[in-house]
């Protein structure tokens, strides 16, 4: 090497990081070119493989979703016991070929049929009133058998069920038991007496007349956003409020309060049709708007703590 070139290299600046990266890129490009030319030299098939082969891509494994395990809920055998007891009470020992006897024996193969005379009355209806799961697959179903003379007799029927309620068997003879005790009624929240000539009473009466007797359109008595379909066909000819009780003092006010005020009421009505008079009761929620009461909720049935829900 000449003295001049040695002196130039001696005084040259050291390579920077950027310069080093640039040199690496140039080397990769040269290597790529060499690979392509080598493929050309090897033939067109090798060139095609070189150009078409994609780069290897490493993909992350998808996250495993948690497995949802559904626990089977044991089904109540109340319906099965109801069918069995109804058939058993209509069966007679010595008449095993009747349809009711065959049904009872198929549902409880080890249960004897009753020995009774033809004069023994058959039940008008049989309904389940209580189901209790005892241990494992064993259940006890209490049923009420009602007769034509108005008397009611209660039976306890033992039933064995599988874990998913797909099969049942009556495992023993029914037993006559005492009926369920009468539960103490819940305290009614409707303690405010509302005059029958009040705005609230008029709104409730007109709505129920439209709802039950087809006296006008139901929608005109509803608050915005509330939808209630009338009973169709209308079962009654007239509907009249007999008593109105409220859970809120605002319902008894002489004038309609501010917009948005809500009250809950229990309307006891007298409905009449061609067959007679029917005492009915409905829980309503009414909402004040523009000087009038509008129905914002309807719930029939006995009042529970908290009153009607809107």
Phi first, then psi: give them for residue 157, nearest 5 degrees: -115, 120
242 located within any domain: yes
**Domain CATH code at residue 162:** 3.10.450.540
Same domain? For 196 and 293 the reply is: yes
> What is d(CA 270, CA 281) in angstroms, rounded to the nearest whole number?
9
207 located within any domain: yes
Is residue 159 within 8 Å of residue 81, measured between CB atoms? yes
Same domain? For 119 and 167 the reply is: yes
Give Cα separations from 144 to 90, 122, 188, 255 (angstroms): 15, 13, 29, 51
Residue 309: which residues within 8 A CB-CB, separation 6 or more?
A: 285, 297, 299
pLDDT, residue 15, reads 52
pLDDT, residue 1, reads 54
Q: Which one is predicted more confidently, 228 or 27?
A: 228
CA angle 280, 286, 288 (to 5 degrees): 150
The band of 52, judged by pLDDT with boundaries at 50, 70 and 90, is very low
Number of separate domains in the chain: 2
pTM: 0.61
CA angle 109, 110, 114 (to 5 degrees): 95
pLDDT, residue 309, reads 37
130-139, 147-156, 243-252, 264-273: lowest mean pLDDT where? 130-139
Same domain? For 211 and 240 the reply is: yes
Same domain? For 163 and 239 the reply is: no
29 located within any domain: no
47 located within any domain: no
Is residue 228 within 8 Å of residue 298, measured between CB atoms? yes
pLDDT in tens, 68-102: 444 445 578 999 999 999 999 999 888 899 999 99
Same domain? For 281 and 216 the reply is: yes
Q: Is the pLDDT of residue 217 over 70?
A: yes
Q: Is the pLDDT of residue 118 over 90?
A: no
Same domain? For 85 and 158 the reply is: yes
Residue 222: which domain range? 192-300
Same domain? For 171 and 245 the reply is: no
40 located within any domain: no
Q: Is the pLDDT of residue 34 over 70?
A: no
E strand or H helix that includes residue 20: helix 17-42
Give Cα separations from 127 to 138, 179, 200, 253 (angstroms): 20, 13, 40, 46
Q: Which of 123, 148, 177 is the last residue of a domain?
A: 177
> What is d(CA 260, CA 245) in angstroms, rounded to the nearest whole number?
20
Same domain? For 161 and 203 the reply is: no
pLDDT in tens, 202-214: 999 999 999 999 9
Residue 71 CB burial class (10 angstroms; 0-12, 13-18, ≥19):
exposed
Q: Which of 177, 205, 236 is the last residue of a domain?
A: 177
183 located within any domain: no
36 located within any domain: no
pLDDT in tens, 166-204: 899 999 999 999 998 888 888 899 999 999 889 999 999
66 located within any domain: no
Same domain? For 94 and 163 the reply is: yes
Q: What mean pLDDT do residues 91-120 have?
A: 90
pLDDT in tens, 265-307: 999 999 999 999 999 999 999 999 999 999 999 985 433 333 3
Same domain? For 196 and 296 the reply is: yes
What's the mean pLDDT when you consider all of the chain?
81
Q: Which of 150, 177, 204 is the last residue of a domain?
A: 177
């Amino acid at each position: 090497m000449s003295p001049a070139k040695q002196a130039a290299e001696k005084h040259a600046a050291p390579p920077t990081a950027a310069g080093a990266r640039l040199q690496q890129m140039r080397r990769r490009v040269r290597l790529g070119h060499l690979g392509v030319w080598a493929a050309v030299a090897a033939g067109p098939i090798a060139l095609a493989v070189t150009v078409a082969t994609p780069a290897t891509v490493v993909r992350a494994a998808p996250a495993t979703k948690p497995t949802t395990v559904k626990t089977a809920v044991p089904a109540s055998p109340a319906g099965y016991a109801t069918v069995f007891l109804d058939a058993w009470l209509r069966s007679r020992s010595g008449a095993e070929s009747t349809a009711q006897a065959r049904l009872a024996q198929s549902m409880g193969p080890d249960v004897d049929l009753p020995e009774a005379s033809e004069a023994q009355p058959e039940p008008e209806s049989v309904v389940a009133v209580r189901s209790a799961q005892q241990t494992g697959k064993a259940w006890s179903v209490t049923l009420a058998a009602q007769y034509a003379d108005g008397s009611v007799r209660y039976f306890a029927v033992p039933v064995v069920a599988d874990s998913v309620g797909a099969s049942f068997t009556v495992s023993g003879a029914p037993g006559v038991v005492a009926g369920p005790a009468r539960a103490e009624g819940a305290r009614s929240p409707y303690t405010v007496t509302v005059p029958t000539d009040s705005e609230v009473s008029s709104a409730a009466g007109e709505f129920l007349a439209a709802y039950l007797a087809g006296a006008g359109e139901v929608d005109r008595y509803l608050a915005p956003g509330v939808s209630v379909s009338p009973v169709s066909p209308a079962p009654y000819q007239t509907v009249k409020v007999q008593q109105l009780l409220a859970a809120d003092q605002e319902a008894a006010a002489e004038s309609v309060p501010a917009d948005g005020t809500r009250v809950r009421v229990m309307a006891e009505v007298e409905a009449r049709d061609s067959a007679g008079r029917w005492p009915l009761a409905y829980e309503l929620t009414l909402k004040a708007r523009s000087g009038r009461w509008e129905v914002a909720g309807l719930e029939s049935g006995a009042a529970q703590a908290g009153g009607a829900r809107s």
